[in-house]
Chain A
Amino acid sequence: MQPRSKLVMSLEKTSVPNSTHIIKDKVVISDDWTVLRLNEGETPEGVAVPEGKIIVPLKVWQAQRATLQGRQELGVWFASDERPEALKDDLAPFKVIAVDFPKFADGRGYSIAYNLRARLGYTGELRAIGDVLRDQLFYMQRVGFNAFAVRADKDIHDALKGLTDFSEKYQTSWDEKNPLFRRAKRETVVTRD
């Protein structure tokens, strides 16, 4: 049996000052969800999942499904190397699904989010967690994220500006079901100088 002491558990809520706020649906709101991350030595089977609004790693959900599935307020998060298909036909238990960005340059989370929305039909809160910064928010909201737990040391109100960097886009993604050429009347403007 793994230790169940709360002391060895990393709770973002208590360890970082800014995480009581997130961006959701384009506004900064206070947030009382806690992200559970496994510390060294902890296992998905053995880790204690505290009561309350908690977002557990996918592996913890898979290992402790029997005890977790009755909870009213449960979230789950994907690591960047995990597959969204793991929750195929299994989205109902979750109030929140989060995708972790271990480094902002790790772009796998964009495809995970897109697939959760487009392929698995997830319509609830989709939250980016981890190395979440202003300059990636525009792309993140395009692929289907609607909530952003901005990295704690950054100004969340400044990050909010990242959502409006562009007012137009060429291609489809989750946010735009049609590419520009189907949405706008584009005409050949000039042919030769």
Chain B
Amino acid sequence: MYRYDQYDHLIVKERVAQYRDQVRRRLSDELVEDEFRILRLQNGLYLQRHAYMLRIAVPYGLLASRQVRMFAHIARKYDRGYGHFTTRQNIQFNWIKLEESPDILAELATVEMHAIQTSGNCIRNTTSDELAGVAADEIVDPRPYAELIREWSTFHPEFAYLPRKFKIAISGSEQDRAATAVHDIGLHVIKNEAGEVGFRVLVGGGMGRTPILGSQIRDFLPWKHAMSYLEAILRVYNQYGRRDNIYKARIKILVKAIGPEEFARQVEEEWQDIKDGPSTLTEEELQRVANYFTSPAYETLPAADAEYERLKAEDKGFANWIKRNVKEHKVPGYAAAILSLKKTGVPPGDITADQLDFVADLADRYSFSELRVTHEQNLVLADVKQSELYALWKEAKAHGLATPNIGLLTDIICCPGGDFCSLANAKSIPIAQAIAERFDNIDFQHDIGDIELNISGCINACGHHHVGNIGILGVDKDGAEWYQVSLGGAQGNTSSIGKIIGPSFSAHQMPTVIDRLLQVYVKQRIEDERFIDTVRRVGVTPFKDFVYATPIKAGHVTGEDVCA
């Protein structure tokens, strides 16, 4: 993976000093909170309900074991012994003291990490495919391009105070695993007919209160022009994006207002002036970065390991785990194993300090000391020998990290919600937990098969509810927490935005709502049809009719307003 050279080290070191001084000036009231807030946000420090939250950048989701051990150390020394992986492949800590935040950054710098631009109205951490470099369906490894974008976007002087936050995702495989269609910019690394590498460029995708899928504005951008073209997009957005209304400020609103064709034309016009300028990438620079992403020292192994096949046939638990949590690898005899952070009873994406140390050990012993974070909030060991999968499974299981539920009902994407986040209208984690408990039976989950259940505690959609096959959105009604359900959303190559099925439900009704939706699916499905395919074939109506057919016992409504 990428390693800092003296320039990266210098820039991050100077950042820590700059931020430390900003904190000092805030504590001595030289900076008022209104001035400081925007500065700390550009450094990933949010003020939440109970304490500060610090979001640390995990560039395109890639981690070395020594960095994961640093997270464990931070969790113990500065937090309450755990951290939370996010839907943008970052990690956040929820119980941070402002005074200590500069020290955390200094510690992070020792393992080549930082929290630069993990929040604020600037270009955020670029996200990518968690199977980059190992996926069997990969066309071009996106990681070198992701790193080049990281460097270009870090402290870009012109684009630090954009109308709103700006997120880029990049994918280089047949299957889009980076949710590129719901990003401000989505890049697909592709090859043209001549075999040259370039990008298909989507802009204006996003979630929040106006969910929109990105529009293609260029079908092939030669890779050398990546930086100048991004600069052109950002300059158009910086000048013309709305600043009068926070809910209308994302680039998607601008693209929608003037139309993708007109937006593309403006970008093109802007680009003509800077195209072929000094920002044009060179073969040498690409090679410098690509050298960091060469394949590890794989052994020559048979495509199928006999002992592994035997264990898979004998041990149903192992077979279940293989079926859901192990992905195909481009190198014979290897596999990518997903460690589930969605064990029932644990908030999705949460991980304890001991588990962090443990997964770092697993990475050292099984996967060339590297880990990846998925935007579904799980972890991946990307280079495991097939022959060692059984041993890995046993160990992971003993630490609660082998729930065989990847892509299943309980592999819920969920934001921190009202338990932590001051933006939230409703709690999201307890809903995820109630659903996970209700459908804990793994055989039932395997029977239901592929399904994406996404939960957001507010319209900001950090839990990606718009693109969940079942999406749940927490809403506030007269001071009480209610949940709106949508159906038919999807991410990946056939992305779509879900449709709301009707009036919202109380927290207590939610497990039954999910149960009824699943009953309709089981009745309607044809053979191996996935949930999303059934919804697309029969439409939302049969689901809606059954869910609202008879009243569901409401139980105690949470968040009652006693004054009402």
Contact = CB atoms under 8 A, between A and B. Distances in A.
Interface of A: 104-108, 110-112, 114, 118-119, 133, 135-136, 138-140, 142-143, 158, 165-173, 177-182, 184, 186-193
A105 B278 contact: no
A189 B2 CA distance: 9
B157 A186 contact: no
A142 B156 CA distance: 9
A177 B277 CA distance: 9
B285 A189 contact: no
A167 B14 contact: yes
B238 A110 contact: yes
Interface stretch (B158-166, B173-181, B510-518, B536-544): B158-166
Interface of B: 3-5, 7, 10-11, 14-15, 18, 22, 30, 35, 38-39, 64, 66, 121, 151-152, 154-163, 227, 235, 238-239, 243, 273, 277-279, 281-282, 284-285, 288, 291-292, 294, 296, 368-369
A187 B285 CA distance: 9
Contacts of A179: 152, 227, 278-279
B273 A119 contact: yes
B506 to A, nearest CB: 39
9 contacts: A107-B158, A133-B35, A135-B22, A140-B157, A171-B152, A177-B278, A181-B285, A191-B3, A192-B296
Main secondary structure of the interface of A (DSSP, over half): loop
Contacts of A171: 151-152, 156, 227, 279
A110 B161 contact: yes
Contact of B5 (A172, A177, A186): A186
B290 to A, nearest CB: 9
10 shortest interchain CB distances as A-B pairs: A107-B161, A142-B157, A139-B157, A188-B291, A181-B285, A170-B151, A110-B158, A165-B18, A178-B278, A189-B5
B288 A166 contact: no
B121 A105 contact: yes
Contacts of B278: 172, 177-179, 182
A97 to B, nearest CB: 17
Nearest to B297: A192
Given A139-B155, A168-B14, 18 more contacts: A105-B38, A105-B161, A107-B161, A107-B238, A135-B35, A143-B157, A166-B15, A166-B18, A169-B157, A172-B279, A179-B278, A181-B281, A181-B288, A182-B278, A182-B282, A186-B285, A189-B4, A192-B368
Contacts of B39: 135
Nearest to B155: A169
Contacts of A140: 157
B365 to A, nearest CB: 14
A35 B54 CA distance: 41
A166 B158 contact: no
A62 B158 CA distance: 27
A177 to B, nearest CB: 6
A111 B294 contact: no
B159 A107 contact: yes
A181 B282 CA distance: 9
Nearest to A81: B243
B155 A104 contact: no
B158 A111 contact: yes
A169 to B, nearest CB: 6
Contacts of A192: 296, 368
B426 to A, nearest CB: 29
A167 B288 contact: no
A145 to B, nearest CB: 10
A168 B121 contact: no
Contact of B160 (A119, A139, A170, A191): A139
